[in-house]
Amino acid sequence: MDEIHKNILQRNRSNLVKDLDPSKLYDGLLEKGIFTQDMIDEIQSAGTRRNQARQLVQDLETRGSRAFPLFLQCLQETGQESLAELLQNGAPAVTLQPATPTQVVRPVIQPLPFSKSPGGGKPGPGRVRRDSLQGYKMDASPCGYCLIINNMEFEPHSMLKNRKGSNIDCEKLERRFKTLNFVVEVRTNLRQKQIKHELLTLSKKDHSQYDCCVVIMLSHGTEVNHNRFPGAVYGVDGQYVPVQHITNYLNGQHCPSLQGKPKLFFIQACGGDERDMGFEVSPDEVEPSSGGMDDQTDAIPMSSSSDSLSMSDEPDARPTLPTPSDILVSYSTFPGYVSWRETQSGSWYVQTLDCILEENAATVDLVTMLMMVNNEVSQNSAKGLYKQMPGSFNFLRKLLYFRTQT
């Protein structure tokens, strides 16, 4: 931003803090590209209207030469003309320069070649893997890092129960992702700050030689306010990390060496504290399966989130991908509901996910396999009564086929 415009904002800061209504501006600021969604989240987390206004004005000074005139436009469009006039009073006329156009190179769409299996049906191990519009490149060896955070034993003051059976989940997933050619790192019983530290460490690794990254969270969970990815995961100290912030560590802004590569998050934790009793269907539609009588949940009541990752300033226009692109978050349960875990054999979700990956990873894409997991888990019943429905938030741009070791 030009110094003259910074001086105008600083000179009028007290009036802006007193009268500005930031909530009316967020959509326009996002649409005009002044702020990213994560920067708006950061401003909103400041709390009161005055604190949000103060943070907004402070951040605005870092947003380039177009930020000031676009901010004036937003004020006028949201009925805050008096503030726009205040800022324009005594200021030189502002001419809004168009953003530098970016030449878009259209990729040539080529089919993803497959080698047919002898039976002529599903593609076999000889399938050629290429990065195209149809499929991500997944032939690096190793394929990438897989971080598993397994919280089983919670500190007494957290008021959270220990998670018996989670060690079984952890061992299954460690074996499975090693089989899928990942470098697996397991961390156990982490506090909130330790979880953040491990994620930050992962984001600072050089992923340039790898094709993918996986994060698996095994813990208690809760429902929190969000605008992209619901839910939060607890540290053993009773403090949580929102799933939205977990994904932020590996997005295109915070981890450049993973840009354009798939980032996969598997969350075995409750999305809330509601228990799903299901609804009646015809006997032909479902094959009932009952869980054990010692089923436990990973549920904690809903909380509100105020924690946020700070976001760095963005340079002027250039070819980009949306920040959450190439991210998939798979949840063990539908947002708002509990997730069931058997103390002797592990959670429904992980048991099923491990089995589906073992049987299908060589021939079936990930999103289809997760649909198969949804179907299998939905047929279980806890204590003959309660149901569970996994689900995913999918921002992948291509099909993803794992490379299995033979």
CA 34 and chain centroid, separation: 22
For this structure, is 220 an active site residue? Answer: yes
The catalytic residue among 143, 170, 255, 270 is 270
Q: Please choose, from the candidates 244, 232, 268, 239, the residue with its C-alpha nearest in 3D space to the C-alpha of residue 348.
A: 268
Tokens of 250: 């590996």
DSSP β-ladder status, 380-381 and 221-222 = unpaired
The span from the CA of 336 to the CA of 342, in Å, is 20
Catalytic residue, candidates 5, 207, 220, 245: 220
Give the strands of the sheet with 346-347, arranged side by side.
Answer: 295-297, 340-342, 346-347
Instruction: Give the closest residue to 71 by CA, choosing from 122, 39, 337, 83.
Output: 83
Q: Which residue has the tokens 């005055």?
A: 50
Q: What is the largest CA-CA distance in the chain?
A: 79
C-alpha closest to that of 150 among 186, 98, 115: 186
Q: CA-CA distance, 240 to 300, in Å (whole number)?
A: 11
Query: Where would I find the H helices in 61-165?
Result: 67-77, 81-88
Q: Determine the 3-state secondary structure of 182 from DSSP.
A: strand
Torsion over CA: 231, 237, 239, 242 (sign): negative
Distances (CA, A) of 243 to 132, 205, 287: 29, 20, 32
Other residues' Cβ atoms within 10 Å of the Cβ of residue 280:
5
Give CA–CA dist 258/344, Å, rounded.
37
Q: Which residues are part of the catalytic machinery?
A: 220, 270
